[in-house]
Amino acid sequence: MYVAAAIMLLVDDGKVSLDKPVTEYLPEFKMADDRYKKITMRMLLNHSSGITGTGGANSFGFKYDNNVKQETINTLARAHLKHDPGAMQVYCNDGFTLAEIIVERVSGRS
């Protein structure tokens, strides 16, 4: 919830667009599936990006890991989308991890 609110504050400030590709804000974000280039901030926030999700060790109930953001980017680099971006909604925490990285980048705050 806080990440979505932070994104919307950046949208209000004109620093982020909900409909620009995520790669404009996070150029190191890549996937093995070229359709990732169509993923927008809006799709991350409404769970329609098509990202399968990395799951596992960095989920709720596990010890906090400072490297989770980089690990997510590294894991997604080898992943394929489960559907076309924007085609359907399937819950995915990794979309919010990417949004969190973008908030930190654009705002300069962690």
Q: Mind listing the pLDDT tens digit for each residue in 26-37?
A: 999 999 999 999
- Residue 58, pLDDT > 70, answer no
- Residue 59, pLDDT > 70, answer no
Task: Give the global pTM.
Answer: 0.88
Please provide the average confidence, as pLDDT, over all residues in the chain.
90
Strand partners, 21: 40
Q: Is 15 exposed, middle or buried (0-12, 13-18, 19+ CB in 10 A)?
A: middle
What's the distance, CA 103 to chain centroid?
A: 10
CA distance 108 to 29: 18
- Residue 61, pLDDT > 50, answer no
- Residue 49, pLDDT > 90, answer yes
